[in-house]
Amino acid sequence: MRSAYTRRLFYDLRVESVVSNKLDAVHDVLLMGPGPSCVYPDVYRALAHPTLGHLDPLFIAIMDDIKTLLRTLMQTTNRATLPMSGTGSAGMEAAFVNLVKPGDAVLVLVNGVFGKRMAEVAGRLRAQVDTLEFDWGTPVVPETVAARLQMKDYALVAVVHAETSTGVRNPVDKIGESVKMSGALYLVDAVTSLGGIPVHMDAWGIDLLYSGTQKCLSCPPGLAPLSCSERALAKLRARTTPVPNWYLDLSLLLSYWEGAKRAYHHTAPINMLYGLYQALQCVMAEGLENVYARHRNMHELLVAELGKLGLEILVEPDYRLPMLNAVKVPAGVDEAGVRARLLGEHSIEIGAGLGPLAGKIWRVGLMGHTARAVNVQRLIEALRAEL
Ligand SMILES: *Cc1c(COP(=O)(O)O)cnc(C)c1O
Pairing of strands 361-365, 156-160: unpaired
Distance from residue 8's CA to the centre of ligand 1 (Å): 43
Alpha-carbon span 197 to 293, nearest angstrom: 9
Ligand 1 contact via 100 beta carbon (within 6 Å):
no
Q: What is the DSSP letter of 24?
A: G
CA distances 286 to 91, 249, 279, Å, are 26, 34, 11
Instruction: Answer for the pair 167, 143: CB distance below 8 angstroms, yes or no.
Output: no
**What local confidence, expressed as pLDDT, does residue 10 receive?**
59
Cis before 36 (ω within 30): yes
Atom of ligand 1 nearest to the CA of 190: 13
What is the rounded distance in angstroms from the CA atom of residue 192 to the CA atom of residue 215?
A: 6
Question: Considering only CA atoms, which residue is closest to atom 12 of ligand 1?
Answer: 191
Cβ of 89 below 6 Å from ligand 1: yes
Q: Do domains 30-39+288-386 and 42-284 have the same CATH topology?
A: no
pLDDT value at residue 16? 61
Tell me how crowded residue 271 is: count the other CB atoms within 10 A of its CB: 17
Name the H helices within 27-171.
41-47, 57-74, 88-99, 113-124, 142-151
* DSSP assignment letter at 347: -
Cβ of 35 less than 6 Å from ligand 1 = yes
- Tell me, in angstroms, the distance from the centre of ligand 1 to residue 251's CA: 24
Please name which of 118, 105, 117 lies closest in space to residue 151, comparing C-alpha atoms.
105
pLDDT tens digits in sequence order for the chain, 387 residues long: 455 665 565 556 565 667 889 999 999 999 999 999 999 999 999 999 999 999 999 999 999 999 999 999 999 999 999 999 999 999 999 999 999 999 999 999 999 999 999 999 999 999 999 999 999 999 999 999 999 999 999 999 999 999 999 999 999 999 999 999 999 999 999 999 999 999 999 999 999 999 999 999 999 999 999 999 999 999 999 999 999 999 999 999 999 999 999 999 999 999 999 999 999 999 999 999 999 999 999 999 999 999 999 999 999 999 999 999 999 999 999 999 999 999 999 999 999 999 999 999 999 999 999 999 999 999 999 999 999
- CA 125 to chain centroid, in Å, comes to 22
Q: Is 210 in the pocket of ligand 1 (CB under 6 A)?
A: no
Rg of the Cα atoms in the chain? 22
Q: Is the CB of 212 under 6 A from ligand 1?
A: yes
How far is it, in rounded angstroms, from Cα 180 to Cα 234? Answer: 16
Q: Encode 150-175: b = buried (16+ Cβ within 10 Å), e = exposed.
A: eeeebbbbbbbbbbbbbbbbbbbebb
The CATH-assigned architecture of domain 42-284 is 3-Layer(aba) Sandwich (3.40)
Closest atom of ligand 1 relative to the 89 alpha carbon = 9
Is the overall model pTM greater than 0.85, yes or no? yes
Residue spans of the domains in the chain: they are 30-39+288-386, 42-284
Q: Are strands 156-160 and 105-110 parallel, antiparallel or unpaired?
A: parallel
CATH number corresponding to 30-39+288-386: 3.90.1150.10
Give rounded-to-5 percent helix, strand, coil for the chain.
45, 15, 40
Q: Please count the other Cβ atoms lying within 10 Å of the Cβ belonging to residue 203.
A: 12
Pocket test for ligand 1, best of 84, 159, 192, 367 (most atoms within 8 A of CB): 192
Which ligand 1 atom minimizes the distance to the CA of 214?
Answer: 7
Q: What is the DSSP letter of 313?
A: B
The pLDDT of residue 213: 98
User: CB of 365 closer than 6 A to ligand 1?
Assistant: no
